[in-house]
Amino acid sequence: MDSISWQDIRKVIVDFLQQRLANNSSYKSELAKLEKAKQAGDVVAVNESQQQLSELAKRFDFETWMEDAAMRRISWITIGTHISKGIHSSSLGENINYSTQTKPINQNYILSATPLSLNVDCSGNAAALDIFSLLNQIVKDDKTILQLIIEDHLAVVTALSDDKQKASLYLANIKKAIFDDFQHPKASELNKQIFWPNAEETYLSQQDDNYRLLIPLHPSSLCHLVYQKVQTRFSDENKKAREQRRIKDVEHQPYFSFHHLAVVKLGGSNPQGVSQLTSNQGGRNFLLPSMPPKFEKSPIPSIGKQQETIFNHALQYFCRFGFRLLFEMVAAPDNVVEERDNRKDAFAVILSLLLKFARHIQHTMPAGWSRESSLNFNQKLWLDPKRAELEDESDFKQQYELGNWQDELEKQFAFWIQTALQDKFPTIQQQFADPEFREWRREFGKAVKASQRKQEGIF
């Protein structure tokens, strides 16, 4: 920064004014008239056009323009990162320039001013926005005049005028537009206002004198950053990356894609009345989707750490189609042949879903997950077989290989079926006695053993 001299800054200002003069519509019109007058040999018209051009050039003379800009028109604008007119285009409330404030040391919150590369915005009379354009001119090493003023660079004041007294006054007036004056903050009746209690005790005791008044402002600088990011989807690089994503044997590049965007327009037909950045965006501000996330709940029941058995209502609901067939079989008139077939179909569905649940747990859960579980030990042996392969699990491996756990598991399954039937048909509970209990055990035992043989590669 020390390599920047006042001459560097002065040259940027002069070049800016010359460019403004060259692009002035009245100046270009007079140049065209002058050329026609010369071609026609009209000396009077030539003199008139030259006089008009001279008058226009004086308006963009360095000292003349700086005095008008820094003494009169600078008061028409304010510079900030959060704009009051973004809430309502007729608001006369204060803007806030967060970039000039001292930031909290241990910031535990994400703010609308958290990004470090926010462009500042400008709001006010459109006739003075050219001053903001000047302040955004780059001097050297990507440093703008605005940044040099915020950083109190010593060369700035000298560059503003050959008259030292005027230069100091110019700089003071420009700083008023850049830095917030919180001694006399101003809100507007068009701004939204929120009374926020300073402490929970204030809210509970309903005191009237311990509130903070919050006035939300439009985070113009952050919205512009979002706007620029979204616009990258139309860049040539992004389009090329998107087109190549399905081409094989080509190095794929990352690309931006934004879904479910909404657009809100500020300022109506005159977005410049809100702010300069809003005008640059044509008034368009992108809104990212803020709907709550949709979590896809797995149809397969999970196992909680405090859960003691898998044979509960959740698993019964998962196997509900098989239980419905079983209940229909019990409720139907007696028919020995049909009853046997229906019972077989019902158990086939229940056991199929039950084994699907077991395979899901066995294959998706990490080995040893049951260590932290409150499940019955026999169920742990069935559902966490990979735990037997871990170190310091010799006892678990021994119990698994003995296979006695399967007998106890059969009893738990049969009791689960028996309880479901007794709850569904309380008036005929005596029908679900020992013979049925043994049958349910056998069916389950055969299904588990067949499943294990399949996993071991026998089938």
CA dist., res. 120 & res. 221, Å (int):
6
Who's near 134: CB < 8 A, 6+ residues apart?
Answer: 13, 16, 69, 145
Q: Are residues 325 and 278 in the same domain?
A: no
In a domain, 39, yes or no: no
In this prediction, residue 182 has a pLDDT band, given cuts at 50, 70 and 90, of low
Do 323 and 283 lie in one domain? The reply is: no
Same domain for 440 and 328:
yes
Partners of 264 in the β-ladder: 285
Domain count for the chain, please give it.
2
Same domain, 317 and 403: yes
The pLDDT tens digits for 76-111 are 999 999 999 999 888 888 888 888 876 665 567 777
Average per-residue pLDDT for the chain: 86
Q: Average pLDDT in the 305-312 region?
A: 92
Looking at residue 347, its pLDDT comes to: 84
| pLDDT (tens digit per residue) in 249-275 | 788 888 888 888 899 999 888 999 999
Q: What is the pLDDT of residues 275-299, one digit of tens each?
A: 999 999 999 999 888 888 777 777 8
- Cα 131 to Cα 270: distance, rounded to the nearest angstrom: 19
- 456 vs 375, residue with greater confidence: 375
pLDDT of residue 1: 46
**Tens of pLDDT along 100-143?**
876 665 567 777 777 777 899 999 998 999 999 999 999 998 89
pLDDT at 103: 66
Same domain, 321 and 445: yes
pLDDT tier at 340 (50, 70, 90 boundaries)? low
CB within 8 Å of 403: residues ≥ 6 apart: none
Its domain, for residue 411, covers 313-455
- 434 falls within a domain: yes
Q: Is residue 354 part of a domain?
A: yes
In this structure, are 432 and 352 located in the same domain? yes
**Is 50 exceeded by the pLDDT of residue 424?**
yes
Residue 206 lies in a domain: no
Which residue, among 188, 195, 236, has the nearest Cα to 212 in the 3D structure?
195
Are 260 and 327 contained in the same domain? no
Task: Examine residue 34 and state whether it is found in any structural domain, yes or no.
Answer: no
- Residue 449 near residue 346 (C-beta atoms within 8 A): no
Residue entry with tokens 């479901």: 420
pLDDT of 104: 61
Do 282 and 321 sit in the same domain of this protein? no
Q: Is residue 195 pLDDT above 90, yes or no? A: no
d(CA 154, CA 158): 8
Q: What pLDDT is stored for residue 346 in this prediction? A: 86
Q: Over the stretch 19-74, which tens digit does the pLDDT of each residue have?
A: 999 999 898 998 898 888 888 888 888 899 899 899 999 999 999 999 999 999 99
User: Does residue 278 sit in the same domain as residue 411?
Assistant: no
Confidence grade of residue 185 (pLDDT, cut at 50, 70, 90): confident
Distance (Å, rounded) from C-alpha 46 to C-alpha 49?
5
- 408 in a structural domain: yes
Instruction: Note whether 355 and 450 are same-domain residues.
Output: yes
Whole-number pLDDT of residue 208:
63
Same domain for 274 and 340, yes or no, is no
Cα separation, 255 vs 38, in Å, equals 56
**Rounded average pLDDT over 230-252:** 84
Q: Are residues 256 and 390 in the same domain?
A: no
Buried b (16+ CB within 10 A) or exposed e, 214-241: ebebbbbbbbbbbbeebeeeeeeebeeb
Whether residue 182 is contained in a domain is answered as no
In this predicted structure, which of 184-198, 211-225, 371-385 has the lowest mean pLDDT?
184-198
Does 267 map to a domain? yes
pLDDT at site 458: 41
Q: Among 141, 91, 96, which Cα is nearest to 121's? A: 96
